[in-house]
Amino acid sequence: MYERFNTLINAAFDFNANKATLAAASILLAQEVGVEEYKILKNEDDLEAFFLN
């Protein structure tokens, strides 16, 4: 279990990866740790809505 979390955390914060890979890894990490789906920012529209509303 912790190995899976560590793998996801490492992928989500691998600053050598491109932004699409980082975003995908961050979404997977959020899902794995139980963040409610409606709270996960998954695309540019979600980001804009979050920061501009």
For every residue of 38-51, which 3-state class applies, written as one string?
Answer: HHCCCCHHHHHHHH
Assessment of whether the complete model's pTM goes beyond 0.95: no
Convert 19-42 to b/e letters by CB count within 10 Å (16 or more is b). Answer: eeebbebbbbbbeeeeeeeeeebe
Residue 1, pLDDT score: 66
**pLDDT tens by residue, 4-31:** 888 889 988 898 999 889 999 999 999 9
Residue 52, pLDDT score: 94
Longest dimension (CA), the chain: 37
Name the pLDDT band for 41 (thresholds 50, 70, 90): very high
Q: What is the mean pLDDT of residues 35-42?
A: 96
Residue 5, pLDDT score: 80
